[in-house]
Amino acid sequence: MLSSFRSTVRGLASARALRPTIVETLKTPSFSIPAVRSFTNVSSNRLQQTKFNLNQKPKDDKKPTEEQEDDHDSGNKKKNKKKGTHKDISPADYFKSKEFIRSMYLTVGFTVFFYLLSPSDQPSSSADTLTFQEFKTKYLEKGLVQKLYVFNKNLVEAELTPNTAPQSSFAAKPLVSFTIGSVDVFEDQLDEVQTRLNIPGNERIPVQYVDKASVFQILAPFLPTVLLLGGLFYLTKKMQGAGGAGGPGGMFNVGKSKAKLFNQESDIKVKFKDVAGCNEAKEEIQEFVEFLKNPQKFEKLGAKIPRGAILSGPPGTGKTLLAKATAGEAGVPFLSVSGSEFVEMFVGVGASRVRDLFKTARQLAPAIIFVDEIDAIGKERGKSNMSGGNDEREATLNQLLVEMDGFESSDHIVVLAGTNRPDVLDPALMRPGRFDRHVNIDNPDIQGRSEIYKVHMKKLKLEINKDGEVVEKIQQFSGKLAALTPGFSGADIANVCNEAALIAARNDCEFVTLKHFEQAIERVIAGLEKKSKVLSPEEKRVVAYHEAGHAICGWYLQYADPLLKVSIVPRGQGALGYAQYLPPDQYLLSVLQFKHRMTMALGGRVSEELHFKSVTSGAHDDFKKVTAIAESMVKMYGMSSKIGYRSFDDGDQGGFKVQKPYSEKTSKLIDQEVKALIQECYDACKKLLQEKNKEVGIIAELLLKKEVLTREDMIENLGKRQWKENQDFEKYLGEGAEGAEASPKN
């Protein structure tokens, strides 16, 4: 307090001393006001007013100065006009402006902040700072100390006797201060001095301990809680202002759509020419692209652009690839999103993302939206919700239904969706007006597989590329590979081509040959060849007769699939041998065809029964196939006279079934019919192998010797089959096929 008063008095004295100097400076003729105006207009105006009030210049001298000022003012105004500065304002207006108020708030805020941060254990401004030794020699040993104050265990202020203070001091009580390292040491030293001075106990210097904390130290423990509550309050207000999770993003933008935007400048290099094996589906999607590129062509005839199309089919048939080609060819914005990205742990996020997705599409119209794996949110409502509560997935689906049926067709927005399970989708989603077209993409036939092989072989270095007539060579090569891979999807074919290239590189070959493709097909079908798994001679003999039983049944049954290769080399997970067949691309199967397939599957177990004293567990996979075929014949296809023409399909329809759709009596009858069918096929298989017992022995011994037998080995030892093979098999793999006898080069 007294120190502040002293500073104020000194400041007034200094100002009084400097006043003549300021007046003399203003009287000096060399003091040029226009020169000062170059800094700022406001300061020059103030100086000019000061000059005129002092009346230090004659009237004649003002004209050139005013002209200079006017010229300078006009120049400054032009500069300020170019820079966009504000006009001159008076001091009264400035103190009322927002800039001044904001500056005051900042000044006060920083002052309070630094005050709170200031330490509380500083000595008083009126106390002289000493060391402990100085305090002891100057005051303590002389008996000039009246009372001691220990602040926060590290600062000591000593209140001296009144006659100790100097006459110029304004302090009410004379004080000195010093710091200590330890309270215990300080007390020991204090007692030692007072004992040496023979001061009695009742007259010793009183010591008062004070815990002095700043405001910041008091409020610091509560600061994290205040910040947390303030942050939550801010986020809550922000969410309420944005309309909750369904607003524009909500908290942390969880309600924003995660769709990826692709346009003409994107890195999507896939075109429709890169898609093969699904020509009909490709034509449908190309028509959608044409709708968006040239809508007037259809609208002038009164046609409306379809709202959407759903692509369905088995995995790996090219649904997503077709969508990528659409993104590469459309020429319009393409939004791609996965169905699983709509559903999160927060309630309302899925519906919010659907709204944001369609809002973005409307802003970019014409545009295409592609939802991959739409069954993640599009399952039929009411079947999978066992709890009866609110289902976030259903809310997302409801919002999707509203958005698809809500926007006008003039928006030129097309929605494409892909799924592997169209049977579980909600009927409201599948109706016309939402998904107008249902495009089914099945596994390709032999022609489609050949086209897919051509697409993938363009990237491979083939041996046929060094010869002439490359187009014809590739046609024959791709056709043969297509015949070797019945039932393969586009993804399987891509995997085969990649495996063939890897095998060729592993063997340091210059080209990829047919042999590498055959090895790759075996790798995909049967698994990796396990050279480290060594079978005992007895196990190897059992496997050979087991596979020989399959091969003989397939060779002498009319509707069995043509045998291509049989092997007793262990492959895959637990497979000690395998036989490769080439089933035709057939869409209808008769009762006799089913029975022949079951008979061939039972050939391995029957062969073991006929040639060994006991059977093994090697036929467990065969029994699964036989049981599945027999149950399908009885329960689904109406091929049992006792069950009749009824279908009891146990397939998953997207819900939970607590009971079977038939009685216990019918269930028992189904079991009897399935068992009767399997027994009938077993008897036929046993009769056939007993008749061909010699042939079984020949093939088994040949397998033990060579480990792998091909179709040519079977013809050489058993003769040709008495039934004609299917057309595709004869074209690419029969004796008339080009290069059938040629062995590929490594």
Residue type, 709: L
Task: Name the 3-class secondary structure at 368.
Answer: strand
413 phi and psi angles, rounded to 5 deg: -115, 125
Residue 124 CB-half CA count within 13 A: 18
- Please list, in sequence order, all residues whose beta carbon lies within 8 angstroms of the beta carbon of residue 394, skipping any fewer than 6 positions away: 381, 385
**Could you give the CA distance from residue 457 to residue 532 in angstroms, rounded to a whole number?**
33
Q: Are 566 and 550 in contact (CB under 8 A)?
A: yes
Q: Which tokens go with 300?
A: 């002038």
Sign of CA pseudo-dihedral 131, 134, 140, 143: negative
Q: Are 430 and 310 in contact (CB under 8 A)?
A: yes
Q: Which of 157, 403, 451, 547 is catalytic?
A: 547
Strand order in the sheet with 708-710: 578-581, 563-567, 708-710
280 catalytic? Reply is: no
- Please list, in sequence order, all residues whose beta carbon lies within 8 angstroms of the beta carbon of residue 61, skipping any fewer than 6 positions away: none
Q: Which tokens go with 261?
A: 């935007």
| Opening angle at CA 307, ends 302 and 311, nearest 5 | 130
CA-nearest of 403, 356, 361, 354 to 376 is: 354
Instruction: Tally Cβ neighbours within 10 Å of residue 248.
Output: 14
**Could you give the CA distance from residue 598 to residue 590 in angstroms, rounded to a whole number?**
13
Whether residue 366 is preceded by a cis peptide bond, meaning omega within 30 degrees of 0, is yes
**Could you give the CA distance from residue 693 to residue 340 in angstroms, rounded to a whole number?**
57
- DSSP state string for 578-618: EEEE-----S---HHHHHHHHHHHTHHHHHHHHHSSS--GG
Active site residues per annotation: 547
